[in-house]
A and B are shown apart, each in its own frame.
Chain A
Amino acid sequence: MTLAAFASYMLTGLAGASSLFLVAAGLSLIFGVTRVVNFAHGSFFMLGLYLAVTLAGVFGRTPLGFWGAVVCASLAVGAIGVVVERLILRPLYAAPELLQLLATFAVVLIVKDAALWIWGPEDLLGPRAPGLSSAVPVLGRSIPEYDLLLIALGPLVMAGLWLLLTRTRFGRLIRAATEDREMTAALGIDQARLFTLVFALGSALAGLGGALQLPREPANLSLDLSIVADAFVVVVLGGLGSLPGAFLASLLIAELKAFCIGLGFSKATLVIEFLVMAVVLVFRPHGLLGRPDPPARATEAEAGEPIPPLVWIPVALALAFPLLAGGYAVILAIDIVILALFAASLRWLIGPAGLVSFGHAAFFGLGAYAAAIAALKLGWPMAAALAAAPLVAAFGAFAFGLVAVRLSGVYLAMLSLAFAQIVWSLAFQWDALTGGSNGLVGIWPAAAVADKTRYYALVLGLAIAAWLLLGRIERGRLGYAIRAARDSQLRAEALGFDVPALRRIALVISGAVAGLAGGLFVYSKGSLSPETLAIPRSVDGLVMVLLGGLASPLGPLLGAGLFTWLQDEAARRIEFWRALVGFVILALVLFAPRGLAGLLRRPRA
């Protein structure tokens, strides 16, 4: 590599680092003060870019018009942030963190459809920055002037935030509230106002990050999740709540990407950041500059009576109905039961084991690919291929567990996301084995269950068996030990329980069940692609579990049923179905925080 090439990659990386830092800084500030993991942060970035494109068109192609559009877009996103905070998050500050996450995910769906409605599905390219549209020669290579401006902007914003946090009273209040919210309230500080301001600042930073991309990339509807994934990686890699950490991590990630692209390994960029994050978290469980988590809120005891037995009758009837009805009901029922099994495996992990996974689709996908590869490449019969699915997924979970069990909370969730991305990129890039982005086709069930109704009977039977098994384990001695490790790691260890081993076991069991669901999925569809284990499926799983409610094993079934049916029905009938799903999720989070299963319980006297 020549010095000139090196310098050019370096500068490209630095420019990328600046915009990454803007987004990550906002996410980090919001998390630090409000403890909300804001999934919608990437949506704010996307809105910033769309708004800037529109405003730049209105304001005209002058420097004032361009920069006016950037600033106004950023301020407008800040204002949207305030609305989101006031209407959606404020009622949820006392709720479990996962519900807040679910609510911000609903915002993602709503914003996406709002953007589709306003700006349409086409990519929108913004104008170049007037006066900065040429390139500057650096060591014989030309670097866009605009990139040089961005390079300067990152450290400037960092310095500005640093001054704000250390030299102003507002900054001191933010830092105090980051450490102890309740105590700041007792000292006369209006938390609600502080939260709103911090949310406004954080969203405006995300909006600014988006708006500044105006000449660099077109506005499009897939930016939200890709940006938020990057921002999560940066924030976690840097250490939650640490701005210098976020800055450092932005540099690291952006440089790595720039060099990968520059050196011709552009495919590697898909996975490199997650690989780096995984490595860092294994050695530094709290990120580069992070401090240990504040202790999580104590686990709530199971509240309310068990679900009344009468509820099981309609559930059983609903499950049996497609067997008789046939037709489309069977197709939908197969999807629902398979996803319910997937969700049940995730509930097992989040509930009894207390381990939150943002990348559970990895195990689903491992099972799916295992079955497909066994069937297509090895020519195994269906029974053997289906048996391979949970085994391979369990092995994957075991491997993940080797590095993951030392982490907890958001860090563990992020590592699971990284793991899922790595598995995804394997599926995406290992053409010879997985068919790459085309995936694999032609995986059909054995003749005996080729009929959809019969296949549904098989799926239902296996799902019920796995579901009963999970329940047995949960109520058995192993389940109690796993719950004990969740309730109090200190006490469990002081009683001689090997907590890491218990967590690994919990992961392996959960992974195996998710893998079985994946195997059944492949045979129901006849084909699979890397989408099967992409981030959206992990998120879907999480949404189903939380919609259904964590406290009851019935939750995943109800959650998967509602979510799948809603998606299916809405997607066929309504153009803006995502927004509808988003509003349904919000309604449930705000009015039925214990999930659907929670609605069926009578509160204890």
Chain B
Amino acid sequence: MLTVARLEAAYGRAQVLFGIDLDVAPGEIMVLLGRNGAGKSTTLKTIMGLVAAAGGSVTFDGRRIDGMPAHEIARAGLGYVPEDRRVFAGLTIAENLDVGRQPPRAGAPPWDEERVYRLFPRLAELKDRRAGQTSGGEQQMLTVGRTLMGNPRCLLLDEPSEGLAPVVVDAMAEATTALKREGLAVLLSEQNLRFALRVADRAAIIEQGRIKFSGPVSALAADESLARAYLAV
């Protein structure tokens, strides 16, 4: 569904990505593992059009999307959940969700406020509260819910477990697997190997902007040296 080929990106003069290859299928969770600064977030942002690709291609549903502006990529069906959450602090939870609303897509039940609240019941209790006055965990749920309101077919999740209490991490893990069962493709970036092993089907390890390993998570779980070499474990 999503294919990334030889993707390159740079911030100013500093090249960050050196030819990334990845692919994700519907109903599959792919995890991109790597330490801080390895290029995980940049990869997701480049796919989303928030960082300009300096080379390579991104294909979504058979259609080249690299070079398209971010909002068109989002409308094409890619949903992006940033690592630092970036909720609209002055807007209420319900208003935040409304900003994410996009027209329904054929062949899939559309997301609305009620459906997001069923996935994250905690949000329903807080729907009229300003997002800036909610906890980090609640903001994480909101930012996922807000992205789902756009009816994405593939979800890019940037470090969904970062700095969250284990209880919230559990909720995120459950939500992610629930979305996968509905046929969404999920590409998530993680530093947290435990979270990755728990939810993902396949994994890739990124180091200094290059993919160092790609394969089923079972292979990663079996080979401790990989994790030791490239991840902060």
Contact = CB atoms under 8 A, between A and B. Distances in A.
Contacts of B179: none
Contacts of A187: 71, 74, 99-100, 102, 146-147, 150
B60 interface: no
Contact of A191 (B71, B90, B102): B71
A575 interface: no
A57 to B, nearest CB: 44
Interface string A89-123: 00000000000000000000000000000000000
B121 interface: no
A182 B100 CA distance: 13
A169 B96 CA distance: 11
Contacts of B71: 185-191
Contacts of A186: 48, 50, 70-71, 74, 80, 82
Contacts of B212: none
A176 B102 contact: no
B88 A182 contact: no
A179 B102 CA distance: 20
Contacts of B88: 175-176, 179-180, 183
A184 B74 CA distance: 10
A487 B135 CA distance: 31
Secondary structure class of chain A's binding surface, majority of residues: helix
Interface string B66-106: 00011110110000101000101111000110111110000
A311 B96 CA distance: 55
A173 B99 contact: yes
B10 to A, nearest CB: 13
Contacts of B147: 187
A185 B99 CA distance: 10
Contacts of A267: none
B13 interface: yes
A602 B95 CA distance: 49
Interface string A167-181: 001001101100110
A604 interface: yes
B89 A179 contact: yes
Contacts of B12: 300-301
B90 A169 contact: no
Contacts of B150: 187-188
A469 B146 CA distance: 56
Nearest to B75: A188
A190 B82 CA distance: 18
A184 B50 contact: no
A169 B146 CA distance: 14
Contacts of A191: 69, 71
Contact of B99 (A176, A192, A300): A176
Nearest to B96: A176
B74 A185 contact: yes
Contacts of B101: 169
Interface in A264-309: 300-301
Given A169-B98, A172-B95, A604-B13, A185 B70 contact: yes
A183 B86 contact: yes
A185 B147 CA distance: 11
Interface in B24-64: 48, 50
A172 B98 CA distance: 8
Contacts of A183: 82, 86, 88
Contact of A175 (B86, B91, B102, B146): B91
Nearest to A603: B13
Nearest to B98: A172
Nearest to B156: A186
Interface in A187-211: 187-192
Contact of B86 (A173, A180, A192, A300): A180
A173 to B, nearest CB: 6
A180 B71 CA distance: 14
Nearest to A291: B90
Contacts of A169: 98, 101
A169 B147 CA distance: 16
Nearest to A301: B12
A241 to B, nearest CB: 10
A29 to B, nearest CB: 15
Interface in B162-206: none
A182 B69 CA distance: 11
A176 B82 contact: no
A108 to B, nearest CB: 30
Name the residue among B50, B71, B89, B102 with the largest chain A CB count within 10 angstroms: B71
A189 B75 CA distance: 8
Nearest to B48: A186
A574 B100 CA distance: 53
A182 B48 CA distance: 11
Given A169-B98, A183-B82, A188-B102, A176 B91 contact: yes
Contacts of A301: 12
Interface string B1-27: 000000000001100000000000000
7 contacts: A172-B95, A176-B99, A179-B88, A186-B70, A187-B102, A187-B147, A301-B12
When A and B form their complex, which 7 residue pairs have the shortest distance between CB atoms, in order from nearest?
Answer: A188-B74, A185-B70, A176-B99, A186-B80, A176-B88, A183-B86, A188-B75
Interface of B: 12-13, 48, 50, 69-72, 74-75, 80, 82, 86, 88-91, 95-96, 98-102, 146-147, 150
Given A175-B88, A179-B91, A300-B12, 7 more contacts: A176-B96, A185-B69, A185-B71, A186-B71, A186-B80, A187-B150, A191-B69
